[in-house]
A and B are shown apart, each in its own frame.
Chain A
Amino acid sequence: TQLLEQSPQFLSIQEGENLTVYCNSSSVFSSLQWYRQEPGEGPVLLVTVVTGGEVKKLKRLTFQFGDARKDSSLHITAAQPGDTGLYLCAVQTGANNLFFGTGTRLTVIP
């Protein structure tokens, strides 16, 4: 069983649609990070959430940390082709180890 389960694994939508991707675990975390990775590049940090129930917005992206700090969601409003990429959630597991989920690969079709 993976420490972090991301769903869906793949998502293909039309430009302008809304979507939500999920990052779930049975463990409690002090914080959780979301990254976006484009083809041929390294992951880029989008946001860090630290408080249970916290909601953070980054333009059309809304991130929520679950009340129990075991899960998180990322909602994208009016998706654009530039949102295409691999979305990764990550948590700190002990000192100096950022553990990554396997990601949701999003394709936004123009």
Chain B
Amino acid sequence: NAGVTQTPKFRILKIGQSMTLQCAQDMNHNYMYWYRQDPGMGLKLIYYSVGAGITDKGEVPNGYNVSRSTTEDFPLRLELAAPSQTSVYFCASSRGDRYGYTFGSGTRLTVV
């Protein structure tokens, strides 16, 4: 049971560079989410998707973009990386709005 798979696990970016964080789930969940976790700040929702072709902004979307071309994949794109985007990024999926989330193991991103 793979669940939610995130790659890469670690990445260092220079200011202004771009990258895509990959997320894939094999549970046929319609709902997928991207969160960032900063020390002492809890998890903040960046973007979410309720199904293929549908995405929407969460609480902290600035500086990020997403796409959802298939049920399985939900990549997060960072354009023009900034030090404020240094964080741990978690992808999650769910059967629906009132169900528990299954999280990936995270991507630790440092922007220098």
Contact = CB atoms under 8 A, between A and B. Distances in A.
Interface of A: 30-31, 33, 40-45, 48, 88, 92, 95-103
Contacts, number: 50
B98 A97 contact: no
Interface of B: 4, 31, 33, 35, 40-43, 45, 48, 50, 56, 58-59, 90, 92, 97-98, 100-106
A97 to B, nearest CB: 6
B98 A31 contact: yes
27 contacts: A33-B100, A40-B106, A42-B4, A42-B92, A42-B104, A42-B105, A43-B101, A43-B103, A45-B100, A48-B100, A88-B42, A92-B97, A92-B98, A96-B31, A96-B48, A96-B56, A96-B97, A97-B45, A97-B58, A97-B59, A98-B33, A98-B101, A99-B45, A100-B43, A102-B40, A102-B41, A103-B42
Which has the most chain A C-beta neighbours within 10 Å: B33, B35, B43, B45? B43
A68 to B, nearest CB: 20
Binding site secondary structure of chain A: loop
Contacts of A88: 42-43
B42 A45 contact: no
